Amino acid sequence: LKMGTMVFKTPNATLDRLPIGPTPVCIAFKHLTGFAHMNVIWPSEPGKVWCMEPYWPFPGVNGKRTGRFVEREINDHFNYGDNVILAWANPFEGESSTPPG
């Protein structure tokens, strides 16, 4: 799978400013506890996104986490670092290479 990526400054990383469309997007960000983290996200309702959260339950036992879907406030959860990185799957032939938005 080939991915296209873009970096966004977090003061501007609000849902209305990020090019997130109806298809899932990978987001890499600094977690509130200070470590780097990644989710797959897609819009839920104004200001919120659904996240595929692989690191659940936390704390948990490595190899025993099941993951889950969680709804998060994009302006609160993803703005702890200087940047966020979004990644999209490269389009299929005939589709636009421009990120949604």
Domain ranges of the chain: 3-89
Q: What digits encode the pLDDT tens for the residues 29-61?
A: 888 788 888 889 988 887 888 998 877 766 777
User: N- to C-terminal Cα distance for the chain?
Assistant: 22
Q: How many residues does the chain have?
A: 101
- Give pLDDT, residue 32: 79
pLDDT confidence band for 96 (50 / 70 / 90): low
- Closest C-alpha to 70, from 89, 84, 86, 56: 56
The pTM for the full model equals 0.71
- The residues, any chain, with a CB within 8 Å of residue 75's CB and separated by 6 or more, are 13, 14, 15, 47
- The residues, any chain, with a CB within 8 Å of residue 10's CB and separated by 6 or more, are 29, 78, 79, 80, 81, 82, 83, 84
- Closest C-alpha to 8, from 73, 92, 87: 87
